[in-house]
Structures are given as C-alpha cells and as structure tokens.
Amino acid sequence: MRKELFAVVFALCFGNVFAQQYSYEMWHEGKLVLESGDTLRGLLKYDIQQDLLQYNDQKKVTEAFTPRKVLYFEIFDQTVNRYRHFFSLPYAASGYYKTPVFFELMVEGKITLLVREALEYRTFSSPYFYGSYTRLVLVDKFFFMDEKANIKEFQGKKGDLLSQFGKYANDVDRYIKINKLKVEDRYDLAKVISYYNSLFIR
C-alpha cells in the first residue's frame, strides 16, 4: 500500500516537470542566413545535441544545416514569448582547433555574453520523501567573447565573473547585490553584463 501511495504522490508532484517540452524539441517561426548569403524564412528547429539546424518552408522536405553553412538564425520562441538570436562562431572546445558552433547571443558589447544549452543529468533532493532522484535537465553554459572575438567559457563562480571587470569589479558587485541578481540565471547575468558594458558609453 505504501509503495502505491508513493507512486501516486511522485506522479502528481513531478509529472508536470517530466512532461515539460523544451524549446529545442519544437518548431519555431524564424529565419536563417546562410554562409552563401541567402536568407530563408519558415519553420526552424535546432538540435542542441548534434549542433544542427533544421529548416522547413512548409512546402518542401525538411533540410538540415550545420554551423559551417549558417551565419545566423533567429526564432520566435513561444515558450519564453521572445525572439532568440543565434550565430555560428569558431570555438575550440578542447585544444586549439576551432570549429563553427551555434551560440545564442544575449548581450553584445565590450564583453559579449553567449549561451549554449546542454542536457545534463542532475540529482535533486525531494521534499516529499527521503533520498534523492536524478533526471535529465536543460542547463545553460555561458561564454564571454572579448573585442578580439576570443571566446572563453564562464564556469559560474561569482569571483570569476567579477575578475572580468577589472577596476569596475566593485561597481558591478554592488549592482548585483542591490538588484539581487543571480549569476547562474541567463537573464540576470545578461543584466550584469549590460550594466558593465554601459560603463564605457557614459
């Protein structure tokens, strides 16, 4: 009886979470600009695992493009009710050999904030039963690009973030505290980077 009750409670508490549909699983209205210069408009779907973009103009068969063939694409993401912009940029994930990959542009300026989504297994403690559970979740990987187009991954620590700002570190730290921003949240981090960039245009 206890096992059956646990199963019901677990399903009610976490069913909606597991059933959540992520943006990368959906088709979105958008456009893409190819390396050739051609612009295509229609339905777009990006594959974060394969770093692949699918395109369908609702008349022909679906076409797939790698970052080598795409300069830029944008979608209107109904899950967040906003436009999202992606660029194909050279990046060396390991070693020195750079290959084009898709980055989402969050903020452009002296420091440009880029994001790549990834799927990872995370372990969570449960308030409803003793122990923990593991599930696959969508996470954001943040990257900073400097004015020379060098891209470096941000590891998520506040100290590492403040070290990017030089003599403005105290100003930015104060801004984070006053506005109660979380550097692990993509939109809060975008506010932090935007604030830092604004210090150079006053």
pLDDT digit string (tens) for 14-68?
Answer: 444 445 678 999 999 999 999 999 999 999 999 988 899 999 987 777 999 999 9
How far, in Å, CA of 67 to CA of 69, rounded?
Answer: 5
Residues 70, 122 within the same domain: yes
How far, in Å, CA of 146 to CA of 152, rounded?
Answer: 9
The string of pLDDT tens digits covering residues 142-180 is 999 999 999 999 988 899 999 999 999 999 999 999 999
Residues 146, 160 within the same domain: no
Q: Which residues, including other chains, have CB under 8 Å from residue 2's CB and lie 6 or more apart?
A: none
Residues 71, 144 within the same domain: yes
pLDDT at 20: 64
Location of structure tokens 């996470």: 139
Residues 149, 160 within the same domain: no
pLDDT at 36: 94
Residues 189, 168 within the same domain: yes
Please state the domain count of the chain.
2
CB–CB of 190/179 below 8 Å?
A: no
Partners of 137 in the β-ladder? 120
The string of pLDDT tens digits covering residues 91-106 is 998 778 899 999 999 9
Tokens (6 digits) for 119: 């799927």
pLDDT at 128: 67
Question: Comparing 116 with 4, which gets the higher pLDDT?
Answer: 116
C-alpha pair distances (Å), 18 with each of 78, 103, 106, 136: 19, 26, 27, 9
How far, in Å, CA of 191 to CA of 53, rounded?
Answer: 28
How far, in Å, CA of 141 to CA of 161, rounded?
Answer: 14
**pTM exceeds 0.75:** yes
Residues 104, 178 within the same domain: no
Residues 63, 131 within the same domain: yes
In which domain, by residue range, is 185 found?
A: 156-202
Residues 100, 200 within the same domain: no
Q: Which DSSP letter does residue 165 get?
A: G
C-alpha pair distances (Å), 202 with each of 108, 166, 195, 196, 199: 16, 17, 11, 11, 6
Residues 122, 170 within the same domain: no
